[in-house]
Amino acid sequence: MTPVTVDHANFLTSRVGDGGVDPARLSGELSDRFGEVHRDVEQRREEGEMGFFRLPYEVDTRRQVQEVADSFGQWFEAVVVVGIGGSSLGARAVAEALRGSLWNERSSEAREHFPRLYFLENADPDTTSELLAHLDLRRTLFNVISKSGSTAETMAQFLVVEEALRGVMEEDQLRGHLLFTTDPDAGVLRALANDRGIPALAVPPQVGGRFSVLSPVGLLPAAVVGTDLEELLGGAAEMEELCRSEKLPENPAGLLATLLHTAHTEDGRSIHVFMPYGDRLRALGLWFQQLWGESLGKARDREGRMVNTGPTPLAALGAVDQHSLLQLLMEGPQDKAVTFLRVGRREAPVPIPRSHPGQPALAYLGGHTLEALLDTELRATGEALRRAGRPSLVLEIESLDARALGALFMLLQIATVYAGGLYGVDPLDQPGVELGKELTYGLLGREGYPEPDLSGEAEGTVDG
């Protein structure tokens, strides 16, 4: 049983007309092109890059993370992830998918004594002061996550948190409320961990932030709320194996990357809408948005030529955004391709009672379930788009559990590095964010960074 299936029928010319992809090409030239990309990715893997491929098999890491989570879990009422971007989006996606949005409001018994889980991401003074005032700091663990140990927001939050802890405990107790996830050797967090005996987990060197959800970055927060890590990683491993195939129809990540890349480069569909049906998958969309956008949006290709390319990922939520974005998807420019995500089966389908038989606007709903309504809306939306000549595909998982989630993470990560190959860019770097960081350092007076002139006159603009 495949952990995630890809139904691409509504992406084909036979169904969607000129806006689609000719199925003959998928077993012909597009398959050949994918074969080249697949070989290139395999080679970079073998050279030690793309460390995320190996994460499902790091059994020692999984055991270590589980031990840390087990030993902390019984002591703390709350765990706060202090991290931003790739250091928080993956853990958010796991916690929301598996624990839902009411987790933190539940009693300790209802949580089976697993801690509450919060995120301090932004350098937002309101969020920070409210959260620190809200928590019982003596019963809170702060998991500070930054691979480099230089992320401005996270380092600032760390300083604020450390000071807040000092307000309620002795200096030698601090280290019991801190857990770092950072580079195994370098950076200020590692140095502090070594100096002060603060426990620290390692982000493997060949794993970048947005590909780190299956490393301790995502695993520790997942484990503290009771996620079965073996299942999560098992699902990822299954998907990794499936994607060893260099044959296009059999490699789901290859199919996804090829369809979206083709729709963009040949048909102008530069906006890739990711639309899971189900509230618990909203955060997964934000995780995907970073992964796809930051990996593929590049000024230069791998030969150094200026290309300014990359699709724009748009995280949507079904059926909610049928009441928000569907009008644009149906009638706006032909510049979008939609990826739906369908959950086959829910824990409780929730029957809709037949309580107002005389009211036509209510009567037709009675006897169905909310699950069936949601699923019907997904089908109806795909069909409506098809009739408007707009391609879509459906990723489907059997049920929303740790195994399926692990498989989804791996599918989308692998699709991203394949898409990098198809676009001809390096999916692992992010050179475009450096300038903003340097300007921030300069404005804050960091040593070695000159104060920039923001008058807009002294310096011209550059083509970026």
Q: Give the CA count within 13 Å in the CB-facing half-sphere of 222.
A: 31
Residue with smaller CB distance to its own copies, 231 or 279:
279
Active-site pick, 323, 331, 347, 434: 323
Residue 181 burial (C-beta neighbours within 10 Å; 0-12, 13-18, 19+): buried
Active-site pick, 58, 121, 238, 294: 294
Min. distance of Cβ 59 from its own copies in angstroms? Answer: 30
DSSP annotation string for 249-269:
GG-HHHHHHHHHHHHHHHH--
| Cα separation, 403 vs 435, whole angstroms | 39
Q: Is 174 helix (H, G, I), strand (E, B) or coil?
A: helix
In this structure, are residues 408 and 123 in contact, taking their beta carbons and an 8 Å threshold? no
Neighbours of 368 (CB within 10 A): 16
Residue 458, CA distances (Å) to 279, 301, 434, 443, 453 in order:
48, 30, 20, 16, 7
Per DSSP, 389 falls in state T
Min. distance of Cβ 413 from its own copies in angstroms? Answer: 15
Amino acid at 81: V
Residue with smaller CB distance to its own copies, 5 or 245:
5
Is 298 annotated in the active site? no
Is 46 annotated in the active site? no
Residue with smaller CB distance to its own copies, 40 or 162:
162
Min. distance of Cβ 42 from its own copies in angstroms? Answer: 25
Active-site pick, 42, 231, 437, 438: 437
Is 294 annotated in the active site? yes
Min. distance of Cβ 217 from its own copies in angstroms? Answer: 13
Min. distance of Cβ 308 from its own copies in angstroms? Answer: 5
Residue with smaller CB distance to its own copies, 305 or 323:
323
| Cα separation, 447 vs 225, whole angstroms | 40
Residue with smaller CB distance to its own copies, 192 or 233:
192
In this structure, are residues 66 and 136 in contact, taking their beta carbons and an 8 Å threshold? no
Catalytic residues: 294, 323, 437
